[in-house]
Amino acid sequence: MLYKHWAKLLVLLLILPIGGCAGDNSDRVSPQPQQPELSEKSSQENGLYDYALLYTCKNTSLNDSAKINELIAGLQYAKELRVDRVEYAFQNQHLLRIDYQLNLTEGQSYHIDHTKQMQDVVILFMLLDQLDAVEINLVQADYGYGGVPITREAAEQVLGDDTRELGKNENTFRTEIPHKIANLKWNPEVMPVVTYEHVMGLEE
């Protein structure tokens, strides 16, 4: 009888912590993600990107804003800066413009990683065959850094390869492209740092 009493008590003690955790979680409201689901996937398993997930966006129509936003959410810059605006335009070429919000405060500066920028652009060209150019802007208030489209030809010169050809096969994209992207370097001779004072026009 005493043995049964202690056995019941032990079972009760084991159940209580689990029930307590469940109660805590049921009252907690999870915040809504700011980016589409693609950005929540871990890119560290496959290097800089989740290549398998990105390839699900292969040859998405540039008019499909939801899917294009999902693709952009999987890029490196979108994991660091909030996407402010995405626009598609056709004026002699298919251009995709992506604005990222800086949100600098007094005394802050942002160091621009041009290699990361080109890696993102190359990924877009591999996945979107109809795309001719990508324009990346860093914006705050009335300030915008960038504004110069990177053409497919310019990106292929940096990469040293044909982006459409490299994006044709999913297996190649998942197994060979991570190495090519990791080895890609781009250092244009432009200003690498944006300061709050410059952005807000406070420099003398």
pTM for the model stands at 0.76
Task: Give residue-wise pLDDT tens across range 130-140.
Answer: 999 999 999 99
- The two three-digit tokens of residue 204, written as one number: 């003398």
- Judged on CB neighbours under 10 Å (0-12, 13-18, 19+), 70 is buried
Instruction: Say what the pLDDT of residue 193 is.
Output: 92
| Cα(126)–Cα(31) distance, integer angstroms | 33
Pairing of strands 133-140, 94-101: parallel
More confident residue, 1 or 164: 164
More confident residue, 34 or 171: 171
- pLDDT classification of 204: cutoffs 50, 70, 90: low
One-letter identity of residue 122: V
Output DSSP code: residue 61: -
State the CB neighbour count (10 A cutoff) for residue 6: 9
Instruction: Say what the pLDDT of residue 47 is.
Output: 74
Percent of the chain with pLDDT over 70: 76
Instruction: Say what the pLDDT of residue 38 is.
Output: 37
Contact yes or no for 51/178 (Cβ under 8 A): yes
State the CB neighbour count (10 A cutoff) for residue 27: 6
